[in-house]
Amino acid sequence: MTNVFTKLKIHFLSKCLVCFSLGGGKKLYIIGTRHMLIINMQRIFINETNPNSIIIRTSWVFSSHGNNFVKTMMRLMKERESLNVVSDQIGRPTYAKDLAIATIKIINEVSGGKKISGVYHYANKGVTSWFEFAQQIKKNAGLSCELNPINTAQFPTPAKRPAYSVLDTQKIESAINIDIPSWEESLLACQKMLG
């Protein structure tokens, strides 16, 4: 099998147009948002390398290990009297433990002969904003820090964040018959691990 990187050249013609040179004079143009370009690039990668590949996309990952929003908020809420938290970005938090369980289930299904390939989305059930997420962290931890909602423009970051990054998990749910827990339930389990 030829490595995709030896025959696939990607040319960014603008923020919304990409030309893929697939070799042999074949070209593929994709027009769309940055988000759609990423999804289409993943599909091309799978088709060009190994059609049996699986990509799991996720969002807003939190855990009792490493650096993440939950641990940062808990630390800052203990250190400060008040915090500003972005309220106009909407998404689906993902507990790393739940993601690991789903990944293992996919591996077991494939090992058992089930045909699973392509791009899948995994995130915990429910939609929230960073501000609402922080409010739930505060409530679960019994902290008294004042939380103030702000908009994205009031909290500039080097990377532009999408206002709406809710992942649809229906494909993975039906592929491996998994019941995904709510982000609130998983957040509580994570915070119990943190003590």
Q: Does position 177 have pLDDT exceeding 90, yes or no?
A: yes
Asked if residue 9 has pLDDT above 50, the reply is: no
Residue 176 near residue 116, CB atoms below 8 Å: yes
Q: What is the pLDDT of residues 109-126, one digit of tens each?
A: 998 999 998 889 999 999
Rounded CA-CA distance 10/34 in Å is: 14
The full 3-state SS of the chain, as one line of letters, equals CCCHHHHCEEEEEECCEEEEEEECCEEEEEECCHHHHHHHHHHHHHHHHCCCCEEEECCCEECCCCCCHHHHHHHHHHHCCEEEEECCCEECCEEHHHHHHHHHHHHHHHHCCCCCCEEEECCCECCEEHHHHHHHHHHHHCCCCEEEEECHHHCCCCCCCCCEECCCCHHHHHHHCCCCCEHHHHHHHHHHHHC
> What's the pLDDT at 14?
46
Query: What is the mean predicted confidence (pLDDT) over 15-40?
Result: 58
- The residue among 85 and 22 whose pLDDT is bigger is 85
Rounded percentage of the chain residues whose pLDDT exceeds 70: 74
Of 1-5, 16-20, 61-65, the range with the highest mean pLDDT is 61-65
The answer, as to whether pTM is greater than 0.75, is yes
